[in-house]
Amino acid sequence: MSSTALKSDEPTVKNKKIPVVAIAGATGAVGVEIMQCLEQRKFPLSELRLLASARSAGKTMKFRGKDVVVQELTDESLKGVDIALFSAGGAQSKRFGPAAVKAGAVVVDNSSAFRMDPNTPLVVPEINSAALATHNGIIANPNCVAIVAATPLWPLHQKKRIARITMATYQAASGAGAAAMEELSESTKAFLEGRKFEPKVLPHPYAFNVFSHNTRVDPETGYNEEETKVMQETRKIFGEPNLRVTATCVRVPVLRAHCIALNIEFEEAMSVAEARAILANAPGVRVVDELERNYFPMPVDASGKDEILVGRLRKDVSDPTGKTLALFVAGDQLRKGAALNAVQIAEKLLG
């Protein structure tokens, strides 16, 4: 075994070469989750390279019971890689993504760097895995909110076309990375102890507070960058450039798992019973809709889970046509909203 990478003598899968896999941004919250997904799903690989910034080089991380030494992300460290799972930020993706492709790798990128590039597929495997056939070396992993919303909405859209989506998000600290999760924990502790705490990662106090998503607001539209991403990416994932989508994105003091309140207008009437039956059989979705117990999707139940939880299914009583439903979803931003989706894309690449 190499001192810097885990190697395996596993046999080939479906007569294909077992890939050398690299995780760029391996020490971040999503990178750690990607490694866990690879291990839990028994992803076939001949070598795993953990790549990060120079300050993280030399650290060791456990994978399949063995220590793997983190290497610095460089052009040299990407040589010989077959699949590169990037979660190192947009700047690093733009710098090293094309270099990885030039070195022979297929890149699955978790940043926003390539998502709206018309030549780069934006993929949620349960929805549009066929788009993988058109990639030019880079495949974009969508925004976490777009994934969490689109996964349960797609099977409904397949049955009866969606005309308009209105969403309000309740986004956890995990969406801003490990540092934001730590800041939420520390600021909550300080609040409870009556100590002053100055936020450094996020622009507003996080403990016991709710605030608009901390991305730049467009002065013309009034939408912040997160809202714009979600709207644009949902259209691209669905292949519906004219789909009417609006979003309000908010940060809430929760460590993991984003929630979304969705109001869905269909082109024709859709009953609650019909929607529930569709969602009960939808891949990547689990219905949690217990009216008697008032028990519906919650971050505490979605955290660490692969499925998107869906509930609060009901008719929108403000629409007498019966074409509009309301529902509530919860999904782990670090799992299906990021790491798991990337690993599922890699699994599709293996065939």
- Give the containing element (helix H, strand E) for 71: strand 71-72
Q: What is d(CA 204, CA 315) in angstroms, rounded to the nearest whole number?
A: 36
Residues 299 and 208 in one domain: yes
Of 92, 113, 134, the domain-final residue: 113
Mean pLDDT of 250-259: 97
Of 66, 96, 113, the domain-final residue: 113
Residues 105 and 151 in one domain: no
Give pLDDT, residue 109.
Answer: 98
Q: What is d(CA 348, CA 283) in angstroms, rounded to the nearest whole number?
A: 15
What DSSP string describes 104-128?
TPEEEE-SSSSTT-TTS-B--HHHH
| Listed residue (305, 14, 350, 27) closest to 178, CA to CA | 27
Residue 144 a catalytic site member: yes
Residues 299 and 196 in one domain: yes
User: What are the backbone dihedrals phi and psi of residue 127, each rounded to the nearest 5 degrees, phi first?
Assistant: -110, -55
Q: How far apart are the first and last CA of the chain?
A: 27
Q: H helices within the chain, ranges in order?
A: 29-40, 90-102, 125-128, 144-159, 178-192, 225-238, 272-280, 299-302, 340-350
- The angle formed by the CA atoms of residues 215, 218 and 219, to the nearest 5 degrees, is 130
Structural domain contains residue 135: no
Q: The domain containing residue 9 runs over which residues?
A: 5-113
User: What are the backbone dihedrals phi and psi of residue 320, each rounded to the nearest 5 degrees, phi first?
Assistant: -70, -10
Q: What is d(CA 331, CA 351) in angstroms, rounded to the nearest whole number?
A: 26
Structural domain contains residue 344: no
Give the model's confidence band at 332: pLDDT under 50 very low, under 70 low, under 90 confident, else very high: very high
What DSSP string describes 128-157?
HGGGGGG-SSEEEPPPHHHHHHHHHHHHHH
Per-residue pLDDT of 54-67, as tens digits, reads 999 999 999 999 99
Mean pLDDT of 332-351: 96
Question: Number of folded domains in the chain?
Answer: 2
pLDDT above 80 for 168: yes
Structural domain contains residue 140: no
Identity at 321, one-letter amino acid code? T
Structural domain contains residue 277: yes
Residues 153 and 279 in one domain: yes
| Listed residue (343, 338, 349) closest to 30, CA to CA | 338
pLDDT above 70 for 9: no
Per-residue pLDDT of 182-219, as tens digits, reads 999 999 999 999 999 999 999 999 999 999 999 999 99
Give pLDDT, residue 178.
Answer: 85
Residue 135 a catalytic site member: no
Give pLDDT, residue 6.
Answer: 53
Give pLDDT, residue 216.
Answer: 95
Q: What is d(CA 246, CA 137) in angstroms, rounded to the nearest whole number?
A: 31
- The angle formed by the CA atoms of residues 335, 86 and 5, to the nearest 5 degrees, is 100
Mean pLDDT of 63-74: 97
Q: H helices within 193-337, ranges in order?
A: 225-238, 272-280, 299-302
Give the model's confidence band at 351: pLDDT under 50 very low, under 70 low, under 90 confident, else very high: confident
Structural domain contains residue 81: yes
Residues 99 and 212 in one domain: no
User: pTM for the complete prediction?
Assistant: 0.93
Q: What is d(CA 157, CA 268) in angstroms, rounded to the nearest whole number?
A: 11
Name, in order, each residue with C-beta under 8 angstroms of 90's C-beta and a sequence gap of 6 or more.
Answer: 111, 112, 113
CATH of the domain at 216: 3.30.360.10
pLDDT above 70 for 14: no
Whether 147 contacts 339, CB under 8 Å = no
Instruction: From the candidates 157, 249, 258, 259, give the one annotated as an active-site residue.
Output: 258
Residues 213 and 311 in one domain: yes
83 forms beta bridges with: 21, 106
CATH of the domain at 79: 3.40.50.720
Give pLDDT, residue 5.
Answer: 56
Give pLDDT, residue 3.
Answer: 38
Per-residue pLDDT of 32-42, as tens digits, reads 999 999 999 99
How do beta strands 20-24 and 47-52 pair? parallel
Instruction: From the candidates 144, 157, 213, 259, give the one annotated as an active-site residue.
Output: 144
Residues 152 and 91 in one domain: no
Per-residue pLDDT of 88-138, as tens digits, reads 999 999 999 999 999 999 999 999 999 999 999 999 999 999 999 999 999
Structural domain contains residue 134: no
Instruction: Map tokens 């990375």 to a residue.
Output: 177
Residues 278 and 150 in one domain: yes
Structural domain contains residue 303: yes
Hey, is 279 helix, strand or coil? helix
Q: What is d(CA 161, CA 321) in angstroms, rounded to the nearest whole number?
A: 15
pLDDT above 70 for 8: no
Give pLDDT, residue 177.
Answer: 86
Give the model's confidence band at 10: pLDDT under 50 very low, under 70 low, under 90 confident, else very high: very low
Residues 171 and 293 in one domain: yes
Q: Which tokens hold the place of 201? A: 């990662």
Residues 28 and 155 in one domain: no
pLDDT above 70 for 15: no
Give pLDDT, residue 17.
Answer: 83
Structural domain contains residue 349: no
Q: Which tokens hold the place of 202? A: 């996020």
Radius of gyration of the chain (CA): 21
Residues 270 and 171 in one domain: yes
Residues 209 and 252 in one domain: yes
Give pLDDT, residue 207.
Answer: 96
